[in-house]
Structure 1
Amino acid sequence: MKLTILCYDKCSTCKKALNWLDEKGISYEKRPIKEQNPSKEELAVWHKKSGLPLKRFFNTSGNLYKELGLKDKLPQMTEEEQLELLAFDGMLVKRPLAVTDQWAFPGFREKEWEDHLAD
């Protein structure tokens, strides 16, 4: 299973997740989310694999999310518009974002990552 972690080097949660993976001896490919922003097509596939609401893919605590007033705008946007917005700037995407051929999971929750990686 190939594991890709989309992350931002200055993100403390990303650092924590990568350290956790290293401690567990789990190999991964690191992809810088700001420099290699996910495409709309990638995000659509990952959203489907995740089984989660699309809102979970947004970095709701990020500055850009707040500056754009997305808390109030997202509920009125179509899924297509939300995917376009996420693909517009990697800083809008919840990170770290763990992706494999079978699943995708935004954010680091140790128990959930452990459950997914044990499969």
Structure 2
Amino acid sequence: MDRTKLSLYCYSKCSTCRKAMAWLNSNQIEFQEKDIINFPPTSQLFYEWVFEQGLPLKKFINSTGDKYRELNMKERVKTMTEDEIIAMLASHGKLVKRPILTDGHFVLAGFKEEEWAQALGVL
């Protein structure tokens, strides 16, 4: 992961996002904060993460959120195509698992301190 070009897609009211930001700051890792609600990752980014990196699409779905329940996504994703799911994620930031840390290519979804430390070379 290129530490000079990091973007953090997050939601200010999300405690996990706040933990991730505090961890990045305490490890002196610079990042550009992006509001995932108003400016979710684009469909193109999701395609790159899923198809170029081979990450499972479900890794990006916030299945515990209110929007997920409100839109009845548990049932809908069973019949939706990958293209339809990606379009939903790109248009509804609250459907996206957060935070997302990316350099534009490599991506980490959800904050797991050990995973982030390994990816960012923090010992």
TM-score (norm 1): 0.92
Identity within the alignment, %: 39
Aligned with 2:24 (options 21, 26, 31)? 21
Decide whether the 8 Å contact of 2:48 with 2:105 is kept in 1. no
Decide whether the 8 Å contact of 2:43 with 2:87 is kept in 1. yes
Matches within 5 A, 1:5-16: 5-16=8-19
1:46 deviation in Å? 2.5
Aligned with 2:62 (options 56, 59, 64)? 59
Q: Which has the higher helix share?
A: 1
TM-score (norm 2): 0.89
Gaps spanning 5+ residues in structure 2: where?
A: none
AA aligned opposite 1:34: I
Across the aligned residues of Structure 1 and Structure 2, the Cα RMSD in angstroms comes to: 1.6
Q: Deviations over 1:12-38 (max 9, x none)?
A: 000000000001111111111112122
Aligned with 1:118 (options 88, 108, 121)? 121
SS at match of 2:77: helix
Runs of 4+ in structure 1 deviating by more than 6 angstroms, as ranges, are none
Q: Deviations over 1:37-86 (max 9, x none)?
A: 22211221123355321011011111010111111221221110110110
AA aligned opposite 1:96: P
Structure 1 residues 101 and 42, CA gap change in structure 2 (3 angstroms):
closer
Decide whether the 8 Å contact of 1:4 with 1:100 is kept in 2. yes
Matches within 5 A, 1:72-91: 72-91=75-94
Decide whether the 8 Å contact of 2:49 with 2:105 is kept in 1. no
SS at match of 1:10: coil
